[in-house]
Structure 1
Amino acid sequence: MLENIRFYTIYLALLSGIIGLFFFYKLPNNKAKSILVMIWLSVIIEFLGINFSKWTGIINYFIFNFYILISFIYYIYLLKLLVHKIIYKAIANLFLVIYIIFYAINFILIQNNIDETFTNSFAIGVLFVLILSCLYLIEMFNSEKILNFKKSIYFWFILGVLLFHLPYLPFLLALDWFLIERVESIYSFVVFILNFLMHSCFIIGFIWTEKRYNY
């Protein structure tokens, strides 16, 4: 039973996506709306990931590797829009360029097997997102936004992204480096729980957020 629980993460993404549509009126601009677009993209990726191998008999790693590229480009770009200091925006731009170049080099020269997860690209993406998230939170906590941070969809989205990626990274690397044995039931349970935490943050964000704090 547990070995298949990770396939139910699509329903978590679907639930947060539907709730996001219900509170769509709270998302005043393209920056805020892009969060909902990314959630629905994850629904599509989950659906393709579950069914692609059944339809074609081809291993579906390349679907998730593509999503790694798109999602981290989006996270970095969103954080660039959220920070205000010029130096922070410059750091975000630098990270974005480095990440795209690193992904290409990793794909061509290092992890050039499409039948495996691009753990190197995932790791560098998590590192960049963590650094930019810290800059975003520091900037927010040193401003008047701290008084209403719980009412911002951006805070809940970034929190959800961190709650999934930060614990998942060492778990993924341990599996990749054979530090722990891959037991399918444990892997599926971990993936499901982390997705549950992430999408719970998204759902709380949509419910608690107020439109005036999402510009």
Structure 2
Amino acid sequence: MSSFLLDNYLEIYRGAEILAALTGLIFYKKFKSKAARIFIWFLIYVQIIETLAGYPSFIKNSDNFEWLDTIVKDTIFRENYWFYDIFWTIIGSLIISYYFYLVSKDAFLKKIIKVSSLLFLIISIVFIGINLDILFYNLLLSLEILSLILILLVTFSYYVELLNSEKILDFYKSLSFYVASGVLVFWIVITPMSFYEKYYNVNDAAFVALKTYIYLFSIVFMYLAFTIGFIVSKPEHD
């Protein structure tokens, strides 16, 4: 079983991502709310960035793009860290934050989410400007932590509002509950792993396996939560 998971890591987690996106599209007409539909398109966006982020390996392994590999090899674009930092850590976090902003009915919580998202964007831009040289060669830990803080804030805001409303009686019928649970578990589990990236060694089989299992569990849990949410939640309207 362990060998199967390690050998098919990419296929399993990409399969979970695609399953969630396809399920969202299948049930698209079920959701009339702006928040739900934006979230479905966010999952499509994830598919696009995951595909584009694979450009380093695609270029290296494609004979047709050998010339491009020669050009990129000695440049800042030879790795895709910058791509994930910008399009996933920053933009992805902001889209999720916007989702919970739309879901919230509490004016005070909406204001907190709005201000926090704006601060996150400004601080992220400043960090990138200061650490521009690191951006292209490694993940920026400061951005990972900021992203976690923002996700914690928006998900806990959702839970607080849920606990203080009548929706708590049928929380399991709300898509937002599955979205909040999925992203919360993913960010809480994955972000601490960034602290250990500097110790990553492909020759350390035990560490590689542990990291793979943790990432795989987090990713599959999150996207299965989304998938289940699309199926079991009741239609939502603005």
Under a length normalisation based on structure 1, what TM-score does the superposition of the two structures give? Answer: 0.89
CA drift at 1:100 = 0.7
Are 1:151 and 1:210, in contact at CA under 8 Å, matched by a contact in 2? yes
Q: Which residue matches 1:18?
A: 22
Are 2:182 and 2:226, in contact at CA under 8 Å, matched by a contact in 1? yes
| Aligned CA distance change for structure 1 residues 197 and 35 (closer, same or farther; 3 Å) | same
SS at match of 1:149: helix
Map residues 75-114 of structure 1 onto 2, 5 A cutoff. 75-110=96-131, 112-113=133-134, 114=136
SS at match of 1:117: coil
Q: Which residue matches 1:123?
A: 145
Q: Which residue matches 2:65?
A: none
Are 2:175 and 2:230, in contact at CA under 8 Å, matched by a contact in 1? yes
Distance in 2 between the 1:73 and 1:94 partners?
12
- Match for 1:141: what amino acid? L
Identity %: 21
Distance in 1 between the 2:209 and 2:230 partners?
31
Distance in 2 between the 1:48 and 1:190 partners?
24
Per-residue CA shift, 1:34-89, capped at 9, x if unaligned? 11111111112222223443225421112211221111111222222222222212
Structure 1 residue 196 corresponds to structure 2 residue 217: no
CA drift at 1:214 = 5.0
Aligned with 2:174 (options 152, 175, 178): 152
- Match for 1:154: what amino acid? S
Are 1:111 and 1:118, in contact at CA under 8 Å, matched by a contact in 2? no
Map residues 35-50 of structure 1 onto 2, 5 A cutoff. 35-50=39-54
Aligned with 1:70 (options 91, 95, 105): 91
Q: Which residue matches 1:175?
A: 197
Are 1:159 and 1:201, in contact at CA under 8 Å, matched by a contact in 2? yes
Q: Which residue matches 1:34?
A: 38
Structure 1, unaligned runs of 5 or more: none
Structure 2, unaligned runs of 5 or more: 60-67, 70-77
Distance in 1 between the 2:40 and 2:230 partners?
10
Distance in 2 between the 1:136 and 1:30 partners?
17
Provide the alpha-carbon RMSD of the alignment. 2.1
SS at match of 1:84: coil
Whichever of the two has the greater Rg, that structure is 2
State the aligned residue count. 212
